[in-house]
């Protein structure tokens, strides 16, 4: 019925338009077989829109009432509802589930003058109801195919729930583990970050955006959000052109080139200008230099936040500055819907700017196929079949295993023996079915993750004795500030100690609760929250055979554990299948292959800490006891675990590093990799370069290639890389990409601290 309605009005209308007699609804018409491009359809539609309707497309509202209950008649909700009926809303977020989405879409399509469908946005960050690992964890897999698959599965599940646009991937680079949102990104490196950005965009959007299983993606937060001063969320960002061009921009540019349909700007100011009102970012870089033709949505209320920033005096100025700067859609500031039409009528804003924004938005709606069938994401039977299906659970388990990083394994304590062991399982997080879901889990129900306890119970050959020991936080609700207040209660210690005493092996699951990282959850300390460190030391006194399983959304300072505990597994927050993934790795049914996407510091004072730092004029101790060099007097410069680091149940040896310069656009590098251990394993072979002398100084190491290689025990393989201008060049301080002749080092290995080195000269 719906399809028929649309096809009919669309086909009639083109004829009418050409005769100059189009009525409003007909003007949107199109025929699938016609030669009109989407741009032509958009132009035809734009031509019949009033200024209020155009501005309406630029207005996005959060879900504001229970759409299946009575309609709102009072207050803010009533006003939003009125706007929806008038066609003054172009998009809604946080409306989800087929029934709800259908209800709002019906108003937009059937009750407004033009019937333009809504685009329905949602934070599908690492899944919808069934969750993959948090993005930082996924990045630790360095497995681009698996990451792409994870995004594709998230798209499929959310699309089945009526969603057609995700606010992901977050491609902000960050070097500061204090920042709570590092959990949502791919870590500290622009090369890895760019590859992952592309994989995730391709996963969400697929090959055909009009397919009912794909959704539009959004590269966020443009730009600099991950460089918040002191790691405090929303804080000031002040960075120079070199960092901006070489570190912050690359993943955004890669996402744009991969065809990401939308961008989101950011809460932060960048060098004195809020990102939302920043014409340099949105117009000069994104829309001009990169020729980007998708649309930019603001962050939540970020237009209005420009008043608190001290950039705009009132809402009218907010709207004017944001639209001129290139923000196309206003998320929840009500600034465009209230002010823009008047600004145009008063000649303060050129209608051409509005037209450009609206065209960008309509284009994406056309590409999603919403004009052909606005209810294409609203199929109850598909919703039932897809959400939580076996296919989706299998996919999230697969990426969860691949995201785990083995940090230490002294005396091969891992993998655990499958029979006859008495295992003590300790820590509140070991029995937590909510924390592994992380903080971005709006559609996931509480207690739906597999806990470590449940995962271990699948293996029947051993005896598991569980003792909580201590809670991590005292809070309960998702947004409760108490979640970041740690309990001091040690009453569970004695049971944990007596359980540990009797055990052959102690598995301790410690770290941060899922709600202790994420937006607004920055930390000034990076140790184990609460009394968990004391618990760990108390248990260690009675049984040193400890496997520490870390659950956390950011790098932690775990120096004591590294010095004492024989085995450490970084298991992040792994999503719905967390406990199964952890158990399979603990028992060796999956050989860990993850590598850290972010440096682990030894102390908070080292932060920001990252592997691709600059050398300084005084990088090395000049003489014994000399003080005047770039260092700390109370801590070494070295991190606890470097970027790219991670062990396996097997071992790998590298040899025969070879470099051949064919031209300045082709440097061939090869290396031999051998599995020198006893079991099959995967290694992420990493290639770094250093441009020794340049007109803008270059980092001591920069990742420029990697390959995930699986080898059986005893087997060798030669791995090949080719470095082109793209890898050998860099952005100068004017933002030009240049390549300079001179001396380069190449490093290859299984971590950024590899010493296997060769050199070459570029003519
Ligand atoms: C976050 C965005 C998110 C938006 C919508 C904001 O608070 O910064 O990343 O997409 O909310 O939920």
Is the distance from CB of 118 to CB of 108 less than 8 angstroms?
Answer: yes
Residue 671 has pLDDT above 50, yes or no: yes
Chain segment 672-728, per-residue pLDDT in tens: 999 999 999 999 999 999 999 999 999 999 999 999 999 999 999 999 999 999 999
* Model pLDDT, residue 474: 79
Instruction: State the burial class of residue 694 (Cβ atoms within 10 Å of its Cβ: 0-12, 13-18, 19+).
Output: middle
User: What is the CA(300)–ligand 1 centre distance, in A?
Assistant: 6
Residues 687, 748 contacting (CB under 8 angstroms): yes
The C-alpha atoms of residue 717 and residue 694 are separated, in whole angstroms, by 34
pTM: 0.95
Residue 645 reports pLDDT greater than 90: yes
Cα distance between residue 507 and residue 452, in whole Å: 10
The answer to whether the CB of 598 falls within 8 A of the CB of 187 is: yes
pLDDT of residue 24: 42
Distance from C-alpha of 190 to C-alpha of 244, rounded to nearest angstrom? 11
Residue 65's pLDDT is 86
- Residues facing residue 705 across a β-bridge: 687
Lowest mean pLDDT among 16-30, 316-330, 511-525, 576-590: 16-30
pLDDT attached to residue 70: 83
Paired residues of 329 in beta bridges:
297
The label of the residue with tokens 């999503």 reads 575
Task: Give strand ranges (E) for 558-633.
Answer: 567-570
Half-sphere exposure of 522 (CA within 13 A, CB side): 17
How far apart CA 61 and CA 67 sit, in angstroms, is: 14
Q: How far is the CA of 112 from the centre of ligand 1 (A)?
A: 28
Model pLDDT, residue 480: 62
Q: Whose CA is nearest to atom 5 of ligand 1?
A: 300
Please state which of the ranges 197-201, 415-419, 482-486 shows the lowest mean pLDDT. Answer: 482-486
676: closest CA among 657, 658, 650, 698? 650
390 CB-near residues (< 8 Å, 6+ apart): none
Residues ≥6 apart with Cβ < 8 Å to 81: 64, 65, 71, 72
Tell me what percent of the residues of the chain surpass a pLDDT of 70. 94
Q: What is each CA distance from 472 to 284, 442, 508, 533, 627, in whole angstroms?
A: 47, 22, 13, 11, 41
Rg for the chain (alpha carbons), in Å?
27
Residue with tokens 């570029």: 762
Please determine, for residue 237, whether its predicted confidence score (pLDDT) is greater than 50.
Answer: yes
C-beta of residue 542 within 8 angstroms of C-beta of residue 164: no
118-132, 279-293, 461-475: the lowest-pLDDT one:
461-475
- Which has more pLDDT, 487 or 322? 322
Which residue has the least CA distance to atom 6 on ligand 1? 300
Separation in Å, CA 1 to CA 8, 109, 374, 592: 11, 14, 12, 52
Nearest protein CA to atom 4 of ligand 1, as residue: 300
Ligand 1 lined by 702 (C-beta under 6 Å):
no
Provide the pLDDT confidence category of residue 159 given band limits of 50, 70 and 90: very high
What pLDDT score does 625 carry? Answer: 87
- Express each pLDDT in 375-418 by its tens digit: 999 999 999 999 999 999 999 999 999 999 999 999 999 999 99
Asked if residue 25 has pLDDT above 60, the reply is no
pLDDT tens profile 605-619? 999 999 999 999 999
Cα 164 to middle of ligand 1, angstroms: 16
Is residue 180 within 8 A of residue 519, CB to CB? The reply is yes
pLDDT at 477: 64
- Whether 570 and 550 have beta carbons less than 8 Å apart is answered as yes
Indicate whether residue 123 lines ligand 1 (CB < 6 A): yes
Whole-number Å distance between alpha carbons of 370 and 100: 17
Concerning whether 299 is annotated as a catalytic residue, the answer is yes
Best CA proximity match to 137, nearest among 495, 598, 487, 701: 598
pLDDT at site 664: 85
Ligand 1 neighbourhood includes 305 CB (under 6 angstroms)? no
Among 176, 299, 432, 471, which one carries the catalytic annotation? Answer: 299
- Between the alpha carbon of residue 205 and those of residues 194, 199, 331, the distances in Å are 16, 10, 22
Nearest-atom index, ligand 1, CA of 266 = 8
At 355-381, the pLDDT tens digits run 999 999 999 999 999 999 999 999 999
CB 329 within 8 A of CB 298: yes
- At residue 23, the pLDDT reads 45
Q: Cβ(220) to ligand 1 under 6 A?
A: yes
From 652, 664, 663, select the one nearest 719 (Cα to Cα). 652
- pLDDT score, position 478: 63
The residue whose C-alpha atom lies closest to atom 12 belonging to ligand 1 is: 123
Question: Counting runs of H as helices and runs of E as strands, what totals does the chain give?
Answer: 24, 25
- Host H or E run for residue 78: helix 75-86
DSSP structure class, residue 342: H
Distance from Cα 185 to the centre of ligand 1, integer Å: 13
What is the arithmetic mean of pLDDT over 463-470?
98
Q: Is 519 in the pocket of ligand 1 (CB under 6 A)?
A: yes
pLDDT for 3 equals 36
Q: Which tokens sit at 227?
A: 């460089």
Give me the pLDDT at residue 483, please.
Answer: 66
User: What residue owns the CA closest to ligand 1's atom 10?
Assistant: 167
Q: What is the 67 CA–ligand 1 centroid distance (Å)?
A: 22
Overall residue count recorded for the chain in this entry: 763
The verdict on the CB of residue 167 being under 6 Å from ligand 1 is yes
Ligand 1 probe mutation, 185, 299, 478, most atoms within 8 A of CB: 299
Assign 487 a pLDDT band (cuts: 50, 70, 90). Answer: confident
CA torsion, ordered 87, 214, 247, 143, to nearest 10 deg: 160
Name residue, tokens 């991670």.
646
Query: How high does pLDDT run on average in the chain?
Result: 94
- Tell me: pLDDT of 476 over 80: no
* Residue 221 CA, closest ligand 1 atom number: 9
Ligand 1 pocket: which of 62, 224, 519, 521 to mutate (most atoms <8 Å of CB)? 519
Provide the pLDDT for residue 326: 98
- Please tell me the distance from the alpha carbon of residue 399 to that of residue 303, in angstroms, as a whole number: 37
For residue 315, give every residue at least 6 positions away whose Cβ sits within 8 Å of its Cβ, in sequence order, or none.
Answer: 304, 307, 333, 334, 335, 338, 339
> Which residue, by CA, sits nearest to atom 7 of ligand 1?
300
SS3 320: helix
Better-scored residue on pLDDT, 663 or 21: 663
Confidence of residue 485 (pLDDT cuts 50, 70, 90): confident
Contact 189, 172 (CB under 8 A): no
């Amino acid at each position: 019925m719906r399809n028929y309605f649309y096809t009919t009005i669309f086909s009639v209308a083109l004829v009418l338009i050409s005769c100059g007699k189009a009525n409003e609804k007909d003007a949107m018409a199109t025929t699938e077989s016609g030669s009109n491009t989407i741009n032509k359809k958009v132009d035809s539609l734009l031509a019949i829109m009033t200024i209020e309707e155009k501005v309406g497309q630029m207005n996005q509202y959060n879900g504001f009432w229970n759409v299946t209950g009575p309609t709102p008649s009072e207050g803010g909700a009533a006003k939003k509802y009125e706007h929806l009926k008038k066609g003054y809303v172009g998009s809604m977020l946080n409306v989800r589930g087929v029934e709800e989405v259908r209800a709002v879409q019906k108003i937009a399509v059937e009750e407004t003058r033009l019937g333009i469908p809504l685009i329905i946005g949602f934070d599908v960050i690492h899944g919808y109801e069934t969750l993959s690992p948090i993005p930082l964890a996924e990045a630790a897999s360095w497995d681009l195919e698996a990451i792409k698959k994870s995004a594709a599965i998230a798209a499929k599940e959310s699309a089945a729930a009526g969603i057609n646009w995700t606010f992901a991937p977050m491609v902000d680079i960050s070097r500061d583990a204090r920042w709570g949102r590092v959990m949502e990104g791919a870590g500290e490196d622009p090369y890895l970050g760019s590859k992952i950005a592309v994989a995730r965009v391709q996963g969400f959007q697929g090959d055909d955006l009009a397919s009912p299983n794909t959704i539009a993606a959004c590269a966020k937060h443009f730009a600099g959000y991950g460089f918040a001063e002191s790691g405090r969320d929303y804080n000031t960002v002040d960075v120079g052109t070199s960092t901006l061009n070489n570190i912050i921009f690359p993943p955004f540019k890669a996402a744009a080139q991969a065809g990401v349909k939308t961008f989101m700007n950011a809460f932060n100011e960048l060098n004195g200008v809020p990102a939302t009102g920043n014409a340099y970012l949105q117009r000069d870089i994104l829309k001009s230099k990169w020729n980007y033709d998708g649309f930019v949505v603001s962050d939540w209320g970020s237009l209005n936040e420009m008043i608190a920033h001290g950039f705009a005096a009132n809402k009218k100025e907010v709207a004017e500055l944001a639209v001129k700067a290139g923000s196309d859609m206003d998320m929840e500031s009500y600034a465009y819907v209230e002010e823009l039409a008047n600004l145009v009528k008063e000649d303060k804003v050129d209608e051409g700017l509005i037209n450009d924004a609206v065209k960008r938005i309509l284009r994406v709606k056309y590409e999603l196929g919403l004009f052909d069938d606005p209810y294409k994401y609203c199929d109850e039977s598909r919703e039932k079949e897809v959400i939580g299906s076996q296919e989706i659970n299998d996919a999230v388990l697969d990426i969860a295993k691949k995201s785990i990083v083995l940090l230490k394994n002294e005396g091969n304590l891992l993998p655990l023996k499958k029979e006859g062991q008495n295992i003590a399982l300790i820590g509140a997080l070991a029995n937590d079915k909510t924390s592994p879901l992380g903080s971005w889990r709006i559609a996931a129900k509480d207690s739906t993750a597999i806990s470590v306890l449940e995962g271990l119970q699948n293996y029947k050959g051993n005896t598991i004795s569980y003792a909580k020991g201590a809670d991590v936080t005292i809070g309960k609700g998702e947004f409760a500030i108490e979640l970041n207040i740690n309990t001091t209660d040690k009453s569970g210690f004695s049971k944990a100690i007596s359980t540990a005493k009797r055990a052959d092996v102690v598995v301790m699951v410690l770290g941060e609760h899922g709600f202790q990282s994420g937006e607004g959850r920055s930390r000034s300390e990076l140790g184990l929250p609460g009394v968990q460190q004391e618990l760990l030391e108390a248990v260690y006194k009675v049984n040193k055979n400890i496997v520490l399983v870390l659950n956390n959304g950011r790098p932690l300072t775990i120096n004591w554990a590294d010095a004492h505990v024989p085995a450490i597994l970084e298991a992040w927050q792994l999503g719905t299948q967390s406990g199964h993934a952890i158990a399979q790795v603990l028992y060796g049914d999956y050989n860990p292959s993850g590598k850290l996407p972010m440096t682990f510091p030894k102390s908070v004072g080292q932060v920001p800490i990252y592997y691709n730092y600059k050398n300084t004029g005084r990088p090395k101790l000049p003489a014994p006891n000399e003080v005047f060099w770039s260092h700390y007097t109370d801590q070494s410069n070295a991190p606890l675990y470097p970027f790219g680091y991670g062990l396996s149940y097997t071992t790998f040896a590298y040899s025969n590093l070879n470099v051949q310069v064919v031209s300045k656009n082709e440097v061939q590098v090869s290396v031999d990799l051998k599995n020198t251990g006893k079991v099959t394993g995967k290694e992420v072979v990493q290639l770094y370069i250093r441009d020794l002398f340049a007109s803008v100084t270059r980092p001591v190491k920069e990742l420029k290639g990697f390959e995930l290689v699986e080898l059986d025990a005893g087997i060798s393989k030669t791995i090949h890389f080719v470095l082109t201008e793209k890898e050998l060049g860099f952005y100068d301080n004017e933002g030009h990409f240049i390549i300079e002749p001179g001396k380069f080092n190449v490093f290859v290995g299984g971590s950024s601290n590899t010493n296997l080195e060769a050199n070459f000269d570029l003519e």
